[in-house]
Amino acid sequence: MKRRIAYFAVFAVALCVFIVFVVMTVMTGLVRDFRRKNHRFTGDCIVSTESLVGFTHYEDFMKILEQQEFVEGVSAAIKSYALVTPRGAEENYGLEMMGIDPALHSIATGFGLTLHHRKDDVAKAFAPVYDPNLPGFVVGIDRWLERGPEGKYPYHSRPDRRALAVTCFPLTAKGALAKVGAGLVNTKTFYFSDTSHSGLARVDTSMIYLSFEEAQMLCGMGEPVKRANAIHIKFKPDVKLERGCERVASLWRNFKQEKADQKYADLLERVTVQSWKNNRRVFIAAMEKEQTMMTVMFVLVGITTVFIVFVVCYMIISHKSKDIGILKSIGVSNANVMLLFFGFAFLVGFLGSAIGTVGGWQFLVHINGIEKWLYDRFEFQPLWDRTIFAIDEIPNTIDYKVLGIIVLSAIAACLAGALLPCRKAAKQRPVEILQVSQL
Amino acid sequence: MNKGDFILKAEGIYKSYRMGATDVKVLKGVDLDVKEGEYVAIVGASGSGKSTLLHILGALDRPDKGAVAFNGRDLSRYGGSELNRFRNKMVGFVFQFYHLLDELNVLENVYLPTMVLRGVFGWISCRRKAEKRALELLEQLGLGERANHKPYQLSGGERQRVAIGRALMNEPGILLADEPTGNLDSATGNGILKVFEELNQAGQTIVMVSHDERVAHRAGRIVTLTDGKIRRT
């Protein structure tokens, strides 16, 4: 280990471990954070239809769910699209609209946690603090406030009094326009009540939340029979996701059979029961794919480590041929020669991993500080421009399982890299080495 | 074993090497007996196969034909681990170019064979004893003050004496020396030969290879290797 090349090998392994540790921690953190936000947005399970018409008898099914011992919270939702016109403005824009009961929805999902002004009084989410009697709306934060370069929002101590006219196209249960000949649309003015910061870029830029009843009315889903688009469900903490979803699916199948002969029962056919993972798969899968690709890239880094250690061991063994001959002449066995060089490779892997881990750990602990310093000093945000990306802080929570895998992989890579040179060393015949050395 | 019994006996040793398309026959039926306590010098011209014979006697190489017996036991019947133990415990090698491990100091080089013999756990228990024995050997060889020096800090003669110390560490039955003075000036070489004489007088069996008749004459018996055979004993 006193040879300089051994230090290079340790440094190379340390560098590989450092890079993999830091990037995997950040990447794993991002994926974990993204999954957590999606879970928080959806709840554990969702009974929903993609049709804007929605489905009937949702209240009956909610009652059944509320009676189940494994269910903690249930919340129906209206999901549609709305044309939004700020009061006094000429222009309008389209948004996704969600009608919810804020108290129920905060039990079934993490909606309450995303609020700012009404965080501690979720039931009044749609009651503006300046006039609780006005119909209020909650809007995705990126639609309302401009995020600063540090990822912070310029919240006002009291919400402003801006109002929006929300326009929807009400649909009949058959999917036809409900107000043909009567202007086609339903419009109502709502007043800003709060912002919702879900951390999901798409939701925070394009979502407006209204009270369930108002949204149902705007979409024409309150008559002649009440309809909703989704039921969000939260399970009790000890209930496994798959098992809970299976039980809900079973309940839904029975419920659907019971209602088969009732009016609009065909709408129930389009309803699916999904876990939050399946429901949000479209969004999560892309990120998971990135993580998989990153892992593949790091396998290539691992192969590079194997090659580096192979070259180093090969060079050392080439330089140490004479010593191997000497050791064999005093009775060291082939197995011990192999062990000796495997020990060297293990030491390279172990020291490299230790240095890389300590370095990576320190870097991760200070990563947000470093980024802040770079921005303060040079206005440089190397990873994500916070005015564009919905990422508050660079994730730096150490995942010990990932770290363990990285360290073990690095040591295994070193041992793999040393395998062929070790075999070569063990197979050397002392008499040939010592004779050649003498020459 | 009584003094006068054969400690080493080689019979009909043949050895050839492949050099390109040619098969070079180095040893062509060598017979050699070495009695316990003997000091034998094998002389011969360069390329006559002296070193090859010494390597075969010390189980560093195997003969194509023939047998070598140590204390009456045929070396060809030894398994891998027995051969390793034989090289470690029964014989001690001294090479022309010393072959010390540069990264170890003098003391470590000397006690290395005991480390190999005892293994990791055994070494922990016998380390003090082995260090004491190595220091005694170094004192005996006039290197007591050099124990913590690295080989590159020593002269050629001193290095060769360290190599002798290493060869004697496990108290081998026989010391095999391959041109031990070949890389030394005359005065230093004489010093090494004097060490050999003292060791032999103390009962150590020695087989030495040299191309130099004057060096060989310091031994008790000279055998000459010519054309792959022992010509004169």
pLDDT tens sequence across A328-350: 889 998 888 888 888 988 999 99
Q: Would the CB atoms of A331 and B112 count as touching at under 8 Å?
A: no
Of B62, B87, B153, nearest to A325 (Cα)? B87
pLDDT in the model for residue A18: 93
> ipTM higher than 0.85?
yes
Residue B112 sits at the chain A interface (C-beta within 8 Å): yes
Measure the CA–CA gap between B215 and B212, rounded to whole angstroms.
5
Least confident of A10-14, A38-42, A179-183, A195-199: A179-183
Measure the CA–CA gap between A17 and A19, rounded to whole angstroms.
6
Measure the CA–CA gap between A126 and A135, rounded to whole angstroms.
7
Least confident of A142-151, A404-413, B50-59: A142-151
The beta strands (E) that lie in chain B are given as 6-19, 22-35, 39-43, 65-70, 73-74, 91-94, 174-178, 205-210, 221-226, 229-232
Measure the CA–CA gap between B16 and B25, rounded to whole angstroms.
4
Q: Would the CB atoms of A329 and B86 count as touching at under 8 Å?
A: no
Shortest alpha-carbon distance between residue A434 and chain B (Å): 8
The phi, psi pair for A186, rounded to 5°, reads: -110, 135
Measure the CA–CA gap between B42 and B232, rounded to whole angstroms.
10
Q: Helices B156-168 and B186-201, interaxial angle, to 10°?
A: 20
Cis status of the peptide bond prior to A224, with omega within 30 of 0: yes
pLDDT in the model for residue A439: 40
Q: Which residue has the tokens 């060889």?
A: B141
Residues in chain A: 439
Please provide the average confidence, as pLDDT, over all residues in chain A.
87
Least confident of A158-172, A208-222, B86-100: A158-172
Interface probe, candidates B81, B110, B116, B209, chain A, greatest A C-beta count within 10 A: B116
Q: What is the DSSP string of B111-155?
A: HHHHHHHHHHHHHHHHHHHHHHHHHHHHHHTT-GGGTTS-GGGS-
pLDDT in the model for residue A425: 83
- For the stretch B21-48, pLDDT in tens is 888 888 999 999 999 999 999 998 888 8
Q: Flag whether pLDDT at A284 surpasses 60.
A: yes
What integer is the mean pLDDT of A281-296? 84
Q: Which residue has the higher pLDDT, A433 or B77?
A: B77
Residue B97 sits at the chain A interface (C-beta within 8 Å): yes
Burial B27-65 (b: 16+ CB within 10 A, else e): beebebebbbbbbbbbbbeeebbbbbbbbbbbbbbebee
Q: Which residue has the higher pLDDT, B88 or A174?
A: B88
Report yes or no: A24 and A398 within 8 Å, Cβ to Cβ. no
Report yes or no: A120 and A114 within 8 Å, Cβ to Cβ. no
Question: pLDDT-based confidence at A199, cuts 50/70/90?
Answer: confident
- The 3-state DSSP class for residue B35 equals strand
**Is the domain covering B38-49+80-232 a CATH 2.70.170.10 domain?**
no
- Which distant-in-sequence residues (6+ apart) come within 8 Å of A83 by Cβ? A92, A93, A94, A166, A167, A168, A185
Report yes or no: A394 and A368 within 8 Å, Cβ to Cβ. yes
- For the stretch A229-266, pLDDT in tens is 999 999 999 999 999 999 999 999 999 999 888 888 88
Report yes or no: A35 and A284 within 8 Å, Cβ to Cβ. yes
- For the stretch A81-96, pLDDT in tens is 999 999 888 888 999 9
Residue A355 sits at the chain B interface (C-beta within 8 Å): no
Of A392, A384, A360, nearest to A19 (Cα)? A360
pLDDT in the model for residue B46: 83
Q: Would the CB atoms of A431 and B61 count as touching at under 8 Å?
A: yes
Q: Which tokens belong to A436?
A: 């050649």
pLDDT in the model for residue A253: 94
pLDDT in the model for residue A186: 83
Of all residues in chain B, the percent with pLDDT exceeding 90 is 57
Shortest alpha-carbon distance between residue A307 and chain B (Å): 26
The number of angstroms, rounded, from the C-alpha of B211 to the middle of its chain's C-alpha atoms is 16
Q: Flag whether pLDDT at A149 surpasses 80.
A: no
Of all residues in chain A, the percent with pLDDT exceeding 90 is 42
The phi, psi pair for B126, rounded to 5°, reads: -110, 10
The chain A residue lying nearest B163, using CA atoms, is A326
pLDDT in the model for residue A180: 65
Measure the CA–CA gap between A290 and A240, rounded to whole angstroms.
27
Q: Which tokens belong to A105?
A: 């929805």
Q: Flag whether pLDDT at B110 surpasses 60.
A: yes
Q: Flag whether pLDDT at A183 surpasses 70.
A: no
Q: Tell me which residue in B51, B96, B112 faces A330 most closely, judged by beta carbons.
A: B112
Question: pLDDT-based confidence at A438, cuts 50/70/90?
Answer: very low
Report yes or no: A392 and A304 within 8 Å, Cβ to Cβ. no
Q: Global pTM?
A: 0.72
pLDDT in the model for residue B162: 93
- The 3-state DSSP class for residue B26 equals strand
Residues in chain B: 233
Q: Flag whether pLDDT at A436 surpasses 70.
A: no
pLDDT in the model for residue B3: 47
Q: Would the CB atoms of B87 and A329 count as touching at under 8 Å?
A: yes
Looking at the DSSP bridge assignments, the partners of residue B230 are: B225
Sign of CA dihedral A56, A59, A61, A62: positive
- Which distant-in-sequence residues (6+ apart) come within 8 Å of A326 by Cβ? A430, A434, B99, B100, B101
- For the stretch B79-108, pLDDT in tens is 888 999 999 999 999 988 888 998 899 999
The number of angstroms, rounded, from the C-alpha of B63 to the middle of its chain's C-alpha atoms is 18
Burial of A250 (0-12, 13-18, 19+ CB in 10 A): exposed
In chain B, domain spans: 38-49+80-232
Of B144, B146, B219, B127, nearest to B176 (Cα)? B219
- Which distant-in-sequence residues (6+ apart) come within 8 Å of A229 by Cβ? A48, A49, A51, A52, A54, A55, A77, A78, A79, A80
pLDDT in the model for residue A419: 87
Residue B88 sits at the chain A interface (C-beta within 8 Å): yes
Question: pLDDT-based confidence at A181, cuts 50/70/90?
Answer: low
Residue A336 sits at the chain B interface (C-beta within 8 Å): yes
In chain A, domain spans: 4-34+284-438, 50-270
Q: Would the CB atoms of B116 and A429 count as touching at under 8 Å?
A: no
Question: pLDDT-based confidence at A158, cuts 50/70/90?
Answer: confident
Q: Would the CB atoms of B99 and A437 count as touching at under 8 Å?
A: yes
Of B85, B86, B114, B113, nearest to B99 (Cα)? B113
Of B86, B179, A122, nearest to A114 (Cα)? A122
Residue A5 sits at the chain B interface (C-beta within 8 Å): no
Q: Would the CB atoms of A326 and B88 count as touching at under 8 Å?
A: no
Shortest alpha-carbon distance between residue B5 and chain A (Å): 25
Q: Identify which of A103-112, A294-303, B211-220 has the greatest average pLDDT.
A: A103-112
Residue B64 sits at the chain A interface (C-beta within 8 Å): no
Q: Chain B residues with CB inside 8 Å of A431's CB? A: 55, 60-61
